Structure 1
Amino acid sequence: MTQQGGPEGDGLTSSNIMGSVERRAFGLPGIPALLIWLVLVVAAISVLVIGVSVVALLEGALAFFLMLGFFIVQPNQASVITLFGRYVGTERRNGFFWTNPLTSRKRISLRIRNFNSERLKVNDAGGNPIEIAAVIVWRVVDTARASFDVEDYAQFVAIQAETALRHLAAQFHYDEQEASEVGGKSQSLRGNPDEVAGALVQELGLRLRHAGVEVLEARLSHLAYAPEIAGAMLQRQQAGAILAARRLIVQGAVGMVEMALAQLSERNIVTLDEERKAQMVSNLLVVLTSERGSQPVVNAGSLY
């Protein structure tokens, strides 16, 4: 097992890094091997009964030695086999097998796992402190790399997930408003969860492939402003929502006033000079854009 090529960035995204490659191990079906072992045991007992103790002892020792070669592979598990420190292969088939008794066998789970990261306090692309966490679904796909290329592949997943999450947060703004103000990316952590999840899966895949790990899915499980700025950012969001609502109300009021003046003119209901039109427009806008119900004043005298 060797690694070649210089590091790029943090040394995990380089395509030149070589690692161990999984291969199939040598293993005989366990039932036929067990029958042969039973024949040897019966022969040892028979020789012992006859009285040839030395031969029986040798056959018994051989039977005990061969018994050490039996092993079982459970569903969604694999057995990594080494011989005197050399990687022999991996047995992925489920069942009962026999192999060289001198080998060492290590079980590795191939089941799908969930990893829920801790809440991290990081800065987004605008420098705002935020809290972020993610749920990562992963599994081991290369047992050789998981066993020999990293010290502890589960811990490796946890550390690289935290690193990738910090790097992802620094690439996006928290919401679209901040991104538009500085002319940044149109995607944001809060407004584009699918794009953010895709970017996180891609980065984690590059980081974890050297440990023989495949990332199936990654999603943000927690996203919020840090407590020290949460109040100010909430006021900012509320102000933005109020301005957007006011803008919509004004646009609708202008349209209604325009429609009212056009219908009055088309139907010849009343003829207004420019001064009266301006006064009417002002009154209608006040009525339509006011937050409270208007109190009309009835003019019982002349129009002028």
Structure 2
Amino acid sequence: METNNNLIKNNITEKELHPMSGMAMLFIIIIGILAGVALCIAGPVFFVDMTGVFVAAGILLIVVLCILMAGLKIVNPNEALVLTLFGKYYGTIKKDGFFFVNPFATGFNPTVAGTVDGLIAEISESAKKDGHKKGRTMSKKVSTKTMTLNNGQQKVNDVQGNPVVIGAIVIWHVSNPTKAVFNIENYFEYLSTQCDSTIRNTARLYPYDTIDQENDEMTLRGSSLEIAQNMKGELQEKVKGAGIEILEVRITHLAYAEEIAAAMLKRQQAAATIAAREKIVEGAVGMVRMALDKLEDDELVVLDDERKAAMVSNLLVVLCGDKDPQPVVNSGSIY
């Protein structure tokens, strides 16, 4: 069967970078800028005849060092920075710290670009309410922290065709930042879509519940943990090519849809009532048998078949009735 991984084209192999320390390069840049400023000042003062050369050299040195400052990158813990150089994949920084890389290498994260429109709308709405503009930094770094996707509730049909409302949460994290940004346009939306598809496909394979209590068939209500594990395996297979690792899937909500909930509740109540009545009748028959055997063994009273049938009927009415019986005292002979 063809999986989502086969549909991903131009799969890029991750190349982890180990760049030089940014603190050392920052110190060099600061010293160089100071040297450039010194050249610009020293030329007119000490070398009048070569003022233009010294000033030009100082300005050139400052410009070059300012360009090099663009190569200083900060990576926070549980983050990764995917870099491209003139449209080609350059490498990925997965360690946290302060680094220096090629100043023309830029961070790449299309997920950030996909949220710009929503952010602009949010800022505009906030500006209308508060009377001033608000901003937020859009980082190009890819978070590798453990995150939770709340899939919400959706209506699906179980294997018997009954509409069921089911919801689940997915605990996940980005395990391969390079695949996450290059193979998928927006890995958040991709994961959410695949989660919806997985829940629907899995819910169709099982009934919500079974009437027969002795049936070992897996159901959505009775085998939620096992079914959640199946969801995890199927979802992991779908998002593997996106560099995402699924840690856990949990079913958070499971109920019949509103249009059949009342009917299904009556069915469950009827099944429970029947099961309870079976236990009551089974116990009552045992008690009646024990009473008759005890009377015969102790020879307290001798009953013919007709009186035994009447006694059995009365005892069953008393033991199986829903309401407390009203006693009737017989002051005469039983014959």
Where do residues 283-298 of structure 1 align in structure 2 (5 Å cutoff)?
Answer: 283-298=314-329
Normalising by the residue count of structure 1, what TM-score does the alignment of the two structures yield? 0.90
Moved more, 279-288 or 42-51: 42-51
CA deviations on 1:177-201 (whole Å, 9 max, x unpaired) are 2797xx8x71211122211221221
**Separation in 2 of the partners of 1:50 and 1:269?**
131
**Separation in 1 of the partners of 2:302 and 2:59?**
125
**Superposition deviation, residue 290 in structure 1:** 0.5
**Superposition deviation, residue 17 in structure 1:** 8.4
**Superposition deviation, residue 37 in structure 1:** 1.5
**Superposition deviation, residue 167 in structure 1:** 0.6
Q: Percent identity?
A: 41
**Superposition deviation, residue 235 in structure 1:** 1.1
**Separation in 2 of the partners of 1:173 and 1:186?**
9
Determine if contact 2:77/2:96 at 8 Å carries over to the other structure: yes
Where do residues 1-304 of structure 1 align in structure 2 (5 Å cutoff)?
Answer: 8=2, 11-12=3-4, 19-51=11-43, 52-105=54-107, 106-177=140-211, 186-304=217-335
**Separation in 2 of the partners of 1:271 and 1:36?**
115
Structure 1 SS opposite 2:92: strand
Structure 2 SS opposite 1:176: coil
Moved more, 119-128 or 275-284: 275-284
**Separation in 2 of the partners of 1:205 and 1:285?**
58
CA deviations on 1:264-304 (whole Å, 9 max, x unpaired) are 22222222233322222221111100001112222222222
Greater helix proportion: 2
Moved more, 141-150 or 209-218: 209-218
Determine if contact 1:176/1:187 at 8 Å carries over to the other structure: no
CA deviations on 1:164-220 (whole Å, 9 max, x unpaired) are 11011101111132797xx8x712111222112212211111111111111122212
Q: 1:189 corresponds to which letter in structure 2?
A: L
**Superposition deviation, residue 137 in structure 1:** 1.4
Determine if contact 2:178/2:243 at 8 Å carries over to the other structure: yes
Partner of residue 3, structure 1: none
Residues 101, 14 of structure 1: alpha-carbon distance in 2 compared, 3 angstrom cutoff = closer
**Superposition deviation, residue 128 in structure 1:** 0.6
Count of residues paired in the alignment? 293
Residues 76, 48 of structure 1: alpha-carbon distance in 2 compared, 3 angstrom cutoff = same
Determine if contact 2:8/2:241 at 8 Å carries over to the other structure: no
CA deviations on 1:245-274 (whole Å, 9 max, x unpaired) are 111111111121122122222222222233
**Separation in 1 of the partners of 2:162 and 2:38?**
82
Moved more, 153-162 or 224-233: 224-233
Partner of residue 46, structure 2: none
Moved more, 265-274 or 138-147: 265-274
Determine if contact 2:199/2:231 at 8 Å carries over to the other structure: yes
Residues 302, 171 of structure 1: alpha-carbon distance in 2 compared, 3 angstrom cutoff = same
**Superposition deviation, residue 18 in structure 1:** 8.1
**Separation in 2 of the partners of 1:293 and 1:209?**
65
**Separation in 2 of the partners of 1:249 and 1:233?**
24
**Any gaps of 5 or more consecutive residues in structure 1?**
1-6
Determine if contact 2:74/2:96 at 8 Å carries over to the other structure: yes
CA deviations on 1:81-114 (whole Å, 9 max, x unpaired) are 1112222221121111100111112310112222
**Separation in 1 of the partners of 2:213 and 2:92?**
49
**Any gaps of 5 or more consecutive residues in structure 2?**
44-53, 108-139
Q: 2:90 corresponds to which letter in structure 1?
A: V
Structure 1 SS opposite 2:211: helix
CA RMSD of aligned residues (A): 2.2
Structure 1 SS opposite 2:277: helix
Determine if contact 2:9/2:183 at 8 Å carries over to the other structure: no
**Separation in 1 of the partners of 2:77 and 2:10?**
29
